[in-house]
A = this chain, B = another copy of it.
């Protein structure tokens, strides 16, 4: 596949772009992560979401350990080409390493963050520890 589309991305000084991942159907925003050029290229080529792990400093195929792969239905970019939106099917229904559906499980209520979504699976089980 030609990669001209990758040349149109405005990478930040670290060579990364912010990636919002949204569940097809429900519309739930699952995660915000980062991709470098290779991660985005592999996402397009394989149809599975790849990111750049800033903490581990490595390419990361989402679900490589947990099995909770994200199957990509669409890839969008914004007007400034400095953010990407992935529309995905979330295998296993769990996107968060805490075992929740979405990483955005904290909601601001009366000036405090409250956990509003349940843990669906024990993280220790998810990662086989």
User: What is the interface of chain A, defined by CB distance below 8 A to chain B?
Assistant: 1-5, 8, 18, 20, 22, 26-29, 31-32, 44, 74-83, 85, 96-98, 100, 103-108, 111-113
Residues from chain B with a CB closer than 8 A to the CB of A103 are 78-80, 83
Q: A8-B113, A29-B85 are in contact. Are A106 and B76 (CB under 8 A)?
A: yes
A107 to chain B, nearest CB (A): 5
Q: Copies of this chain, how many? A: 2
In-complex Cβ contact of A104 among B1, B32, B76 (8 A) = B76
- The reply to whether A107 and B75 form a contact with Cβ atoms under 8 Å apart is yes
- The reply to whether B76 and A5 form a contact with Cβ atoms under 8 Å apart is no
Alpha-carbon distance A78/B115, docked complex (angstroms): 10
In-complex Cβ contact of A108 among B29, B44, B78, B97 (8 A) = B44
Residues from chain B with a CB closer than 8 A to the CB of A104 are 76-78, 83, 85
Alpha-carbon distance A20/B27, docked complex (angstroms): 13
